[in-house]
A and B are shown apart, each in its own frame.
Chain A
Amino acid sequence: MPLLQVNNLSVSFDQYGRGLERFVTTPIRSLSIEIGKGEILAVVGASGSGKSLLAHAIMGILPANAIVGGEIKFKGNLIDERSIKKYRGKQIAFIPQSVNYLDPSMKVKNQVRIGLPGIKSERIEKQEHLFEKFGLKKSDGDLYPFELSGGMMRRVLFTTSMISPDTELVIADEPTPGIHRSALDLVLNQLKTIADSGIGVMLITHDIISALKIADRVSVFKDGCTVDDIPASFFSADGESLENEYTRMLWKSLPEHSFMEAI
């Protein structure tokens, strides 16, 4: 049985325009994915295709005006906004995309410590260890979010949602944008280590080349639909094994490949 199964998920929003006329938009029409134990699924695709909304739907943190269709199963059990509560932050860990999830009024070391298990001294030790692991200085812990650089913020976000002993699934929404090679490798290695211990990982990213280093499979989203689901090994030099036209275009327009010439 797969760890996580999303079948035909749709998400609509009930919205009000100027003058209070109501209308419904449906950014997610039909998304289906599957992640097994110890498997890394990279989710790539168009910006605005619904990658973050998928993560939010799984975590049960969509806004109140969202209407959800289809099914989400965790270890075979249907989950919804209510039942997710018992998994959230425990069996299922989430690393959000937006840096706005950091509390602007709290030193970052304290934000990281809150989420860690154990008594105070253990949490302090663990937090310092995590910082060291991701190339952050001990003194960086005393900074407030606005005092961090973009890449430092990403790494702090990554440590705030670090896994607990019960974690079975990690959902990482764009954990790596804007960080340099060596820091990027630290994050990738960490995700790989997590997966090797049997945890399922959903890695949402635009950095396909990095994702391919650790992913088993790749799911491609466009306009709120899953348009492709293929083994990572299909992405080769010129993309000739990529049958889906959108996937091939995505691969070709990478800056390392044809970039603007592909457009």
Chain B
Amino acid sequence: MSLKVNNLGFCYRPESWVFRNVSIEVPKGGRIGIYGNSGCGKTTLAKILASFISPKEGEVVVDGENQKREGFQPVQLIFQHPEKTMNPLWRMKDSLCESYVPEKSLLDAFGIRDEWMERYPIELSGGELQRFSIVRALHPETKYIIADEMTTMLDAITQASIWKGLLEIVKERNLGLIVISHEMAIIDKICDSCLNLEDYCHA
């Protein structure tokens, strides 16, 4: 069981490759860190893995099966900018429960307060919003989590406690984890291995 990509390549404009020949395998329960300069394609790679966009070359194989486009995605992405992933016209409660209704214990693990539920995204701080996107990604059928600069918006204490909370769930459910971060200290402390995406860049 693993999340595997073979010879992945992507370009937004013909022949202008962001990266090529990327092959990675994240075993169930494994943790890989990805780093590299701003603009080298980390978020693009994450979007392909989570099936938001299709690769131009290569394939993504999830637990032995080719990635499917429809239905629930077992690979869930937590974005760098939570404010861009929330519908501004929905109350937080509705955004949160769009695909499943999380248990109270999960909300508590990430310090989500009741009083935030009735608010709109603009009425929460960046860090508060990010907790909602984390819980949203932790659907019971999720198998792999990609955390793209997940805690860059948070203070150090909240960051440490959110990672602690997430890692507990990751261990408990034996999820695979990809950590995208520019902070090597985070990757060092969380991951088993890491790769520099710049090595596959064609810029």
A residues contacting B by CB (< 8 A) are: 13, 15, 17-18, 25, 44-49, 52, 63, 97-100, 147, 149-153, 155, 174, 177-183, 206, 208, 249-251, 253-256, 259-260, 262-263
Contact = CB atoms under 8 A, between A and B. Distances in A.
Is chain A's binding surface mostly helix, strand, loop or mixed?
A: mixed
A177 B153 contact: yes
B163 to A, nearest CB: 6
B125 interface: yes
A46 B182 contact: no
Contacts of A52: 125-126
B104 interface: no
Nearest to B203: A137
A18 B125 contact: no
Interface of B: 12, 36-39, 42-43, 80-81, 83-84, 115, 118-119, 122-128, 148-149, 152-161, 163-164, 167, 182-183, 185-186, 189
Contacts of B149: 150, 177-178
A180 B38 contact: yes
A44 B157 CA distance: 12
When A and B form their complex, which 7 residue pairs have the shortest distance between CB atoms, in order from nearest? A47-B127, A151-B38, A255-B185, A177-B152, A253-B160, A48-B125, A150-B80
B156 A208 contact: yes
Given A149-B42, A150-B80, A255-B160, 8 more contacts: A48-B124, A52-B126, A150-B38, A250-B155, A253-B156, A253-B160, A254-B156, A259-B163
A48 B125 CA distance: 5
Contact of A206 (B42, B81, B153): B153
A250 B160 CA distance: 10
Point out which of A49, A98, A249 has the most chain B C-beta atoms below 10 A from its C-beta. Answer: A98
Contact of A260 (B12, B42, B164): B164
B160 A100 contact: no
B118 A17 contact: yes
12 contacts: A47-B155, A99-B81, A149-B42, A150-B38, A150-B149, A152-B38, A152-B39, A177-B152, A178-B152, A253-B160, A259-B186, A263-B160
A48 B128 contact: yes
Contacts of A18: 118
A129 B125 CA distance: 33
Nearest to A181: B182
B182 A180 contact: yes
Nearest to B198: A180
A100 B88 CA distance: 11
